[in-house]
Structure formats: structure tokens, C-alpha cells
Amino acid sequence: MKIVPILQRYDYGIKSRGDSSDYKVLYPALKQITDKVYPFWYDEYLTKKDELQKRVIKFVDDVRPDIVYFTLMKDEFSFKTLDYLKSKYTTINWFCDDQWRFDSFTKYYAPHFSYVITVDKFALDKYKEIAYKNVILSQWASFGFNKDIDFDKIYYKYDVSFVGATSGYRRWIVKELLKKGIKVVCFGYGWKNGRVSFEKMVEIFKTSKINLNISNSVSYDIRYMFSSIRTFREFLISNKRAEQIKARNFEIPAFGGFQLTNYIPFLEDYFKISEEVAVYTLFEDLLLKIRYYLENESERKRILVKGYNRAINDHTYPHRLKKIIEKIRINL
């Protein structure tokens, strides 16, 4: 099977931002499924859309693949280009944000692909409403995992950590935890410690007693909403009003970290709650569970080990993509 993934080589197409997840995660995962992967990197054409349409069509026609894979971010490719490719090849697009972009984006682009992938179970009815049938429900995953971890010999550097970009709600959560005496160390864009390398992130996951996974959607906690004029403005203008399972939910356990995450609808489809992952709801619940799991090491380790085994066996990108390709191959 030949696959042409249409990808960005660098993060948001900007070389100074480093390698993209397309390059670090998706491309290697596809190569584990077939050795006939021919990527088209389109970073240099982001400001030359007319040229991009010609280049991608020529590239695909030269390769003549079984599958052309996209992960659209916005309007990089015209409907005309997508329809041409669909008429000759099996085309797929992974829609990552149907929770908040279906009505403004997905419903216009989905009909121009042979198949689409959604990570939003609630969106399945929306696809029915636009009479689109070839939708595959999948999910984010981990880009890798640590092998053969000796969980009895982990040296913990941090009690509680968070890795991810800052936001108004995340800043508020961390500030409130610090007030309650919880030492939280944060890494990522907008935090004092800044962004960290892949290697450092993996180390943080493994050497934190508790890895927080904090929602990036709008919070309806009235204490947060009225904590400042800035947060109230953020609440009003943000379009991220639905919770999403994200890759971080799978990455933390796959690299040997204990995860305490905000509850997200359908997380129980992927992990057994309280057995393979710990969840919280309101701030008070988060505070209670941080204190509980810091004091109860044996239970924390039990959940950690079960979550790790579930993640490495079921929730990596090669696992996800293999299932998707198998579903599509039946109809090829």
C-alpha cells in the first residue's frame, strides 16, 4: 500500500519553532504500517496557495498512491484541488477539533474527502445531518512510550507538575493550588520555565508523582470567570466551549507518568476511571485528590502501572492508524 501524507515539516510551517507533530509523530507512525510512505511537505507554499495546488496535484499524480492523507488546519487546499484528488484516489482528512470547529469548518470540507476521521463522538450525529457517511471515529494517541520501566526505582523530582501552554483558566487553577500549599511546577509556552524539549517533557512525566492535565476550554466556574477583567473577557470571546480528549491524556501514562486529569466525556472509552486514570471535576475535587494521591503511594502506583500498560498496548499512533487503514482497505 502506498500512502502520500500531505504534511507540514515544521510546527505551524515555521522552521524556528522546530519539528512539527506531523514530522515527529504522524510520519514515523505511518512508516510502521507500510514502507511505501511518500510525504509531501508543503511549508514553503503556505504563502503561495496557487502554486501549492499545482505542486500537490503533480506530486500525488506522480506517486499514484492508494491513499492521500491530510490533516487540514484551515484553507490551505481549495475545494477544486480536493475534489480532483478525491476523484482519482482515496483521500482522508483527520478533523482534530470537531468539538468546536464542526460548524465553522468541518461541515464545509468533509464532503470533499473520501473518508474523514473525527475524535468527537458527539459529532457523529452532525455528520448524519449533512448526509456524510464515511466518517471514522478515532482518537488522539501517544507518539511513543518508554519501554521496560522499573516503577519501583523511579526517582521523583516533582510532587505535582503541568506541561502545556498557559491559558487564563490554567493560570487560575495553578494560582489557587499554590495558595493551598500545593507545589506545582509548570512547563510550556507562557510559563516561567518556558517550553521544554521532547526529552525533557518525557522526563517530567516520569519523575512527577502527579502529572496534571488541565482543561484548555472555557471554564464555567464562577470564581474563575470573575477573578479578573481579563479572565471574564477570555470567557466571553473564546470559542473553545467543549471538553476534548487530547494526546496528553495518552502521552503521560505511556511515558510512565501518573495522570490526574479533568473529566472529559468518553474518557472511559479509553481508560477505566479510578483504575487506569484518576480524574477530577471541580477545583475542590482536584485539591482533595492531589492530597490523597500524594499520601497514598501504593494506590497511585497501582493506577500508574495499569494506565501505562493500557496506553502502550492500545493508545499509540501506529495502533490508531493501523485500525483506520484496515477499515478503509476493506472498501478499496
pLDDT-derived band at 179 (thresholds 50, 70, 90) equals very high
Confidence of residue 168 (pLDDT cuts 50, 70, 90): confident
- Give residue 43's pLDDT: 93
247-293: pLDDT as tens digits:
999 999 999 999 999 999 999 999 999 999 999 999 999 999 999 99
Whether the pLDDT of residue 235 is over 80: the answer is no
> Which residues does 107 contact at the CB level (< 8 Å), separation at least 6?
126, 130
Give pLDDT, residue 278: 98
pLDDT of 329 reads 84
Do the two domains 3-141+316-329 and 151-314 of this chain adopt the same fold? yes
pLDDT of 97-137, one tens digit each? 999 899 999 999 999 999 999 999 999 999 999 999 999 99
| Residue 208 region by backbone torsions, left for phi larger than 0, else alpha for psi between -120 and 50, else beta | beta
Domain positions in the chain are 3-141+316-329, 151-314
Q: What is the CATH number of domain 151-314?
A: 3.40.50.2000
278 pairs with which residues across the strands?
260
CATH assignment of 3-141+316-329, among 3.40.1440.10, 3.30.360.10, 3.40.50.2000, 3.10.129.10 = 3.40.50.2000
Which residue from 242, 239, 235, 182 is spatially nearest to 212, judged by alpha carbons?
182
